[in-house]
Amino acid sequence: MQLIDGKQTAAAVRQEIAQEVKELISKGEKQPHLAAVLVGNDGGSETYVAAKMKFCKEVGFKSSLKRFDETVTEEELLECVNNLNQDVDIDGFIVQLPLPDHINEEKITEAIDPKKDVDGFHPQNLGRMITGAPAFISATPQGIMELLSRYNIDTEGKHVVVIGRSNIVGRPMSILLSLKGKPGNATVTVCHSRTADLASICKQGDIIIAALGIPEFLKADMVKDGAVVIDVGTTRVPSEKTKSGWRLKGDVDFENVSSKCSYITPVPGGVGPMTIVSLLLNTLKAAKKEIYS
């Protein structure tokens, strides 16, 4: 069994990005610039956005944070999005989700200029992804593709079982792996809460992507010998051993599943660290006008 080390891979990719930023600047190009919009004081969102800003600094990007109270109106937020769309210094931006209930997330997402949509949530980027055209791909699926690629995991002709059909992980993952390409060219089955006999389908998977959000759902008897297992779960469970009072648990029963695998991602330290790296990669692509030329 080989562990897929997302932490180490993410650090290596950040170094590559930092090097590329240096080269851009030495050629007289402007510093890539990512902006984030944060509404309210949700602890999780605060932590994520702070980490995104920290890693921007590490790789040499400029970053800006636009904060709003949770009482912000939809109109005010749309005005902010429009200003960011127009701002020529900003290459890409994100509106951190979730937003308060009185704000229509879809409306805000669709107001973002697709050329600056480094989260890859805009329908134009989703549509382009489906057709295999250049597109901003959302953070988690892109992070997983990067791990598969960097660990040289062959997906061609393989049976990939994706557990979970969310808009931001399961469904895009199933599309990316069935597209022509490397990684890609896989035969993909998407399982979800209404799937009959899920265990026997999982057992047929050469590669299993567990993205359903139920801690330790994937058990050893659901996995065939030599399978590649990618764990996308990040549920916070109470823990007396940590200062925060919680720790992360994946969707895979790692202790019992790992010995059967050829490759497996741990939680934490697997897919998670790759997600912010994906956002940085997208921002670099936006600055270089690689997706929309």
By CB under 6 A, residue 119 contacts ligand GUN: yes
66 is catalytic: no
Per the CB < 8 A criterion, the answer to whether 227 and 262 are in contact is yes
Question: Which residue number, 112 or 227, has a Cβ lying nearer to ligand GUN?
Answer: 112
52 is catalytic: yes
By CB under 6 A, residue 282 contacts ligand GUN: no
Per the CB < 8 A criterion, the answer to whether 274 and 25 are in contact is no
Please give the Cα distance from 49 to 137 (Å, whole number): 19
Q: Give the bridge partners for 58, in sequence order.
A: none
Binding mask 137-176 for ligand GUN (x = CB under 6 A): --x-------------------------------------
Output DSSP code: residue 250: -
Q: Which of 5, 52, 117, 253 is catalytic?
A: 52
Which contiguous run of DSSP H or E holds residue 208?
A: strand 207-210
- Sign of the CA dihedral with 246 first, then 248, 252, and 256 last: negative
Length of the chain, in residues: 293
Among 91-99, 125-133, 204-212, 259-267, the segment contacting ligand GUN (CB under 6 A): 91-99
* Burial classification of residue 144, based on how many CB atoms lie within 10 Å of its CB (0-12 exposed, 13-18 middle, 19 or more buried): buried
Please give the Cα distance from 36 to 53 (Å, whole number): 8
3-state DSSP helix/strand/coil percent for the chain, to nearest 5?
A: 40, 20, 40
Q: Which of 5, 91, 119, 231 is catalytic?
A: 119
Per the CB < 8 A criterion, the answer to whether 213 and 233 are in contact is yes
119 is catalytic: yes
Q: Which of 96, 116, 158, 249 is catalytic?
A: 96
Question: Which residue number, 80 or 95, has a Cβ lying nearer to ligand GUN?
Answer: 95
Question: Which residue number, 49 or 201, has a Cβ lying nearer to ligand GUN?
Answer: 49
Output DSSP code: residue 117: B
Question: Which residue number, 135 or 198, has a Cβ lying nearer to ligand GUN?
Answer: 135
Task: Tell me the number of residues near ligand GUN by CB under 6 A.
Answer: 6
Question: Which residue number, 96 or 174, has a Cβ lying nearer to ligand GUN?
Answer: 96
Question: Which residue number, 96 or 283, has a Cβ lying nearer to ligand GUN?
Answer: 96
Binding mask 93-112 for ligand GUN (x = CB under 6 A): -xxxx---------------
Please give the Cα distance from 244 to 71 (Å, whole number): 28
Q: How far is the CB of 23 from ligand GUN (least distance, A)?
A: 27
- The residue ranges that bind ligand GUN (CB under 6 A) are 94-97, 119, 139
Residues with a catalytic annotation lie at 52, 96, 119
